[in-house]
């Protein structure tokens, strides 16, 4: 059974409440149940933090034993060299996911420090991006 970590960064704990026109009305916890039911043959772990160091610690914790990391680092995507370095330091491959299309938003969101450390990036497809990332790791 594959083990995958979904790692969400700052403010993603507010999904379902925060800017529903951008991020939708569903909480991530509700979506996670759907995802786990869809992929019952995959062990999906979930961690969210508003703190950069906690995200780095979680990458270090699973980065040599899990089959994949799905990371949506929120605003840290555009600022955190430390998160990029953490992804480089481990052997577990990662896929970057963004609910909104970061390239259609403010110019400061167009650059990601994580993309070059990831197998790929999925953006602009809403929560469906997480499902596509899980499918990638299960192929």
Q: List the catalytic residue out of 23, 31, 113, 130.
A: 23
Q: Which of 72, 77, 81 is nearest to 99 (CA)?
A: 72
Note if 130 is an active site residue: no
* Residue carrying structure tokens 């609910």: 99
Is 103 annotated as ligand-binding? Answer: no
Residues 6+ apart with CB under 8 A from 67: 2, 3, 4, 92, 137
135 in a known ligand binding site: no
Sequence-ordered list of residues with C-beta below 8 angstroms from that of 15, at least 6 positions apart, any chain: 23, 24, 26, 27, 28, 31, 99
Flag whether 117 is marked binding: no
**Residue 102 marked ligand-binding:** no
Per the residue annotation, which of 31, 51, 98, 110 is the catalytic one?
98
Is 80 labelled a binding residue? Answer: no
19 Cβ contact list (under 8 Å, min separation 6): none
Examine the residue annotation and report whether 136 is marked as an active-site residue of this protein: no
109 is in an annotated binding site: yes
Which residues carry a binding-site annotation for substrate? 72, 78, 85, 99-100, 109
Q: Hey, which residues are catalytic here?
A: 23, 98
Q: Which residues are annotated as a binding site?
A: 72, 78, 85, 99-100, 109
């Amino acid at each position: 059974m594959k083990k995958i970590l979904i790692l969400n960064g700052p403010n993603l704990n507010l999904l379902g409440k925060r800017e529903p026109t951008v991020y939708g009305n569903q909480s991530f916890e509700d979506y996670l149940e759907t995802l786990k039911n869809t992929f019952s043959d995959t062990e999906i772990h979930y961690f969210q933090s508003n703190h950069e160091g906690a995200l780095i610690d979680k990458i270090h914790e699973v980065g040599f034993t899990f089959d994949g990391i799905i990371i949506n680092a929120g605003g840290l995507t555009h600022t955190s060299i430390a998160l990029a370095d953490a992804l480089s330091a481990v052997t577990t491959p990662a896929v970057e996911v963004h609910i909104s299309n970061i390239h259609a938003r403010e110019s400061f969101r167009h650059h990601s420090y994580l993309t070059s450390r990831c197998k790929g990036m999925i953006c602009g497809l809403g929560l469906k991006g997480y499902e596509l990332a899980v499918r990638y790791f299960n192929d």
